[in-house]
Every structure is written in C-alpha cells, then in structure tokens.
Amino acid sequence: MRISDRYIGKQVLVSTLYAVLVLGMILGLGNLFRQIKPLLVDQKAPLELVLRFVLSVLPLSLIYIIPWGFLSAVLLVFGRLSLHQEITAFRVAGVSLLRLAAPVFVIGIALSGLSLWLNVNVVPGSRADAQRLIYEQAVRDPASLLKPGVAQGDFKGDGVDIQKMLIEARKGDWLEGLHFFIMPIDAQTSAAGTYVHAARAALKVDREKSQLRLKLEDAYFETRNEQGKVDMAFAERAEPLVIDLKNPKTRKVRMNAMSNEQIRDEIAHNTELHPDRKVLMQTELSSRYSFSLACFSFAFIAVPLALQARRRDNSHGLLLSLLIGTGYFLMVMLADQFKTNLGATIMLWSPNVACILVGCLLFRRARYS
C-alpha cells in the first residue's frame, strides 16, 4: 500500500464518519422524531418502549445517510486536495488521478457491502420490530389508536378487516364523525367492501381482552357490488363493532418488513397474489440490491466533480453533485410507480449506470486537463 493510499484513505474515512454524524443529526433526528411522535406524544407510550422503537428505526436512516455522507466526504477531501495543489503534486510525481482515487473505490465497495447487509438483513427486521412495538402499545392502551384526524388501518373486527378508520373528533368516550372501510376477512380479492359513516359512536375499552367496542349511532352503510351498483342502508343504532387487538399474527405484514426469503416465497407460492402487488414485491427485492451500490456509484462521480468545482473556484461542482445525489434517491423512489417489473428494474438500476458512465467520462476529461 502506498503512502498516498493511507493518506487519502484515512481522510475519506474520517470525513465520511463526520458527515454521517452530521447528516444523522440534521436529517436522521427529524425523521426519527416523525417516526416516534405517535408513540411519544399521541399515545404517551412508556420511555422503555420509545427507546426500543428508536433503536428499531435507526437503521432505516442509515441506508440513506451512509451513501450521502460518503459522497459529501469525497467531495470535501478531493476538493481540499485540489485547492492546496496536492493533486497536482501527486500527478507530477507520476501518480495518475485514477490511481490516486483507488482508496475511494475500495472504501466505496466496503460501504456498499455494509449497505447491502443493512438493506437485506437488518432493515426489514427493523421495520417488522417497529410495527410490533406499535402493536404492543395498541395492546397496552387500545384507545390511544383513535386520534382525531389521523387515518388508521389494518384492524381486525368480528369477521371483518377494517382497512381504514378515521374520526373527526373525540369527546371522552364518544367519537364524532366516524368513517371506516371494511372487508370480510374470508372474502376473495374481487369482493366488494363497505363504507360506513356514523355521526357518533360510543367507545368502550376492554383492557383485559385488548378490545375496542364501538356502538354506532346515525350510521350510514354503502356497498358497491361487482356490477358497480351502490346499495345503501341507514341505522339509527347499530350493534357494537368489536376491534380485536389481541392476536398480532392476524395483522398483515408490510412488504418492506418482509425478508427476501419471505418475498420470494410469496411470489412463488401465492396463487392469489395480485399482479400489481407482485410487481411491487419484485421491485422491493431489486431496490435492496440496487440501492446498496450507491456508495460505489458515487465514488465514480464525486472525485472528478470535486476537482472541477475547485478549479472553477465556485460551488457548481458541489451543487451538481448534491443534485445528483437527490436525483439518485428520487429515481429509486419513483420505481414503485411502474406497473411492470422491467420498467421498475430499469428505473432502479439507471442511477447507478448513469453515475458510473458520467464518472468515467469526467475521469477521462480530468486526465487531459
């Protein structure tokens, strides 16, 4: 290993660590508070449960912060080297820019491996743990789930699946303006659901059984059959609707909380899987691998952009790199909008391909400048 490798590698590693810490405080804490606010503020969960939730959602921030921190670190290190004419000194000594950037590629590969481990093995489990902890809070205090103006979903009632629930106001044990959409638990995919609106609903909490009991008043029921015809019904009072929170196994596991093996098994063996959901599952698998290559892809483009930014004595290169980083993450997120697996796969991998191709072009131009 050359002295230049140790010199540049150490600076990139230290700068990456600082950048991850700074971005974690700026971006991660804001996202973290948004995640824990329902537990900490709305549902008044105990501190021990909140701390466990924080540890569960922390890896979710790292998968974004690590690539962005690495990109920022390379820009800062090579920009500083260029500003102090150290790059010129190395090149006069016969060290090419590509050879000088070798530690950056090695670190990028290592961080991509770390990102792959986080995306495949840690993050799905963290999302599942976060869902489980929210469920534990629901069991501890079922009434805390019903917050005015906040849409809740995926509850199990007496033979029904409450997919969405919203209340407009709450006064003690009375709910006002209750809206929810229910589906029979044993219904097929094509079965029609029922929209229900109640002007008021009496709320009773059974903590021993972890149940919510809602007795509806001035209720309106609307069902659309397979032919598109709407059937309506009205009731001055309706029998209590029982929402059972006792069995977490009946709750639907979100796609992003499933392991790779669970997703592949669902795709291979679930004959009733809707084509759109199958595409989303395949997209989720591809995104875990493509997103993990962000650090390696950024290594190609960050070095030459840092040099160009300093040579022009302005922030164009840094601004361009930040735009590329933002564009990278946006393109990955937009892949979910595609209805075919091919389109989603192309969108997921195109940011990596673009960064590598543009980076190679910029490296080539930097050799002769």
Q: What is the pLDDT of residue 296?
A: 95
Secondary structure class of 195 (helix, strand, coil): strand
More confident call, 16 vs 212: 16
The runs of H, that is alpha helices, within the chain are 3-23, 29-37, 47-83, 86-92, 97-100, 102-117, 123-140, 260-269, 275-290, 294-311, 316-334, 341-367
Instruction: DSSP letter for 252, please.
Output: P
| 188: confidence class by pLDDT, cuts 50, 70, 90 | very low
pLDDT at 318 over 60: no
Q: Are 348 and 289 in contact (CB under 8 A)?
A: no
Residue 312 has pLDDT above 70, yes or no: no
Q: Is the pLDDT of residue 297 over 90?
A: yes
* Range with lowest mean pLDDT among 22-26, 41-45, 62-66: 41-45
Nearest to 67 by CA among 365, 234, 300: 300
Please determine, for residue 206, whether its predicted confidence score (pLDDT) is greater than 80.
Answer: no
Q: What is the DSSP string of 89-143?
A: HHHHTT--HHHHTHHHHHHHHHHHHHHHHIIIIIHHHHHHHHHHHHHHHHHH-GG
For the cut 70, the answer to whether the pLDDT of residue 340 exceeds it is yes
Once rounded to an integer, what is the mean pLDDT over residues 77-97? 83
Decide which of 367 and 64 is more confident: 64
What is the pLDDT, as a whole number, of residue 37?
58
338: confidence class by pLDDT, cuts 50, 70, 90: confident
Least confident of 30-44, 47-61, 272-286: 30-44
Residues 229-235: what's their mean pLDDT?
84
Predicted pLDDT of residue 249? 46
Terminal CA-CA length for the chain:
27
Geometric angle at alpha carbon 220, from 217 and 222, rounded to 5°: 155
| Per-residue confidence (pLDDT) for residue 14, from 0 to 100 | 93
Average pLDDT rounded to a whole number, residues 315-344: 74
Q: Which of 238, 241, 242, 240 is nearest to 219 (CA)?
A: 238
- The encoded tokens of residue 18 equal 């600082």
For residue 62, pLDDT beyond 90? no
Mean pLDDT across the chain: 78
Q: How far apart are CA 323 and CA 330, in angstroms?
A: 10
The whole-number pLDDT of residue 293 equals 93
The C-alpha angle 153, 158, 159, rounded to 5 degrees, equals 85
Of residues 155 and 96, more confidence is placed in 96
Euclidean distance between CA atoms 251 and 139, whole angstroms: 13
Q: Which of 242, 155, 162 is nearest to 205 (CA)?
A: 242
Average pLDDT over every residue of 318-328: 71
Average pLDDT of the residues in 300-306: 87
Is the model's pLDDT at 168 over the cut of 60?
Answer: yes
How much is the average pLDDT of 186-200? 68
Per residue in 265-277, pLDDT (tens digit) is: 989 888 888 888 8
CB 293 within 8 A of CB 300: no
Per-residue pLDDT for 298 more than 90? yes
Locate 197 and state its tokens.
Answer: 């609106």
Task: Give the number of residues written for the chain.
Answer: 369
DSSP code at position 152? B
Spatial distance between the Cα atoms of 131 and 164, rounded to a whole number of angstroms: 17
